[in-house]
Structure 1
């Protein structure tokens, strides 16, 4: 088995796009198969939500600690911004998971 480079593993740890197939390609049967595959892979999306929530809380706490202990609001911004960016990523991931669970497949 071939080992993946560290940056590829890091990307796959935080972003889930590599798990899914394009449902807009191919004929009707290929699109339906891709949809079924994507629905099966959706089981991993709550894991990605947990990862992003954990990183968001971690960076928020780190920003708060830097702001209080070092009395440096400018330096704490370096931690608050990644924390704030984790919120929309978590929301999009949760919406994708709900959509794959609730929406009917392609016709």
Structure 2
């Protein structure tokens, strides 16, 4: 069986772009097929949202621990900032999921 490199697996664990096809190129039939393909796989977006939520919560928790126990607010920012960035990633994933559920195809 073909084994993927660790970096590739890590990328695929956090980013979902590899799951979907480009629905903006090709003929109308090709775009419609790509849209249906993407819509069928959109349920995986909720899994990616959960992953980013847990990572954000873990980073936020580490920031709290470092700030409270070690009294190092500057060091805790190393964990607070990526934690805040996970909110925007989840917003993008949520918008994509709602778009696949609510919007008609691009044709």
Q: TM-score higher than 0.5 here?
A: yes
- Using the size of structure 2 for normalisation, the TM-score is 0.98
In the alignment, structure 1 residue 86 sits paired with structure 2 residue 86:
yes
- Residue 106 of structure 1 deviates from its aligned partner by 2.1
Corresponding residue for residue 48 of structure 2: 48
Q: Distance in 2 between matches of 1:12 and 1:46?
A: 14
Question: Runs (4+) of structure 1 moved beyond 4 Å?
Answer: none
Q: Distance in 2 between matches of 1:66 and 1:58?
A: 12
Q: Distance in 1 between matches of 2:4 and 2:43?
A: 23
Q: Distance in 2 between matches of 1:85 and 1:106?
A: 30
Q: Distance in 2 between matches of 1:24 and 1:88?
A: 24
Corresponding residue for residue 63 of structure 1: 63
Corresponding residue for residue 14 of structure 1: 14
Q: Distance in 1 between matches of 2:63 and 2:48?
A: 22
Q: For structure 1, list consecutive stretches of 5 or more residues without a partner in the other structure.
A: none
- Residue 15 of structure 1 deviates from its aligned partner by 0.4
Q: Any idea what the Cα deviations from partners look like across 1:31-61, whole Å, max 9, x if unmatched?
A: 0000000001101000000000100011001
Q: Distance in 1 between matches of 2:8 and 2:91?
A: 23
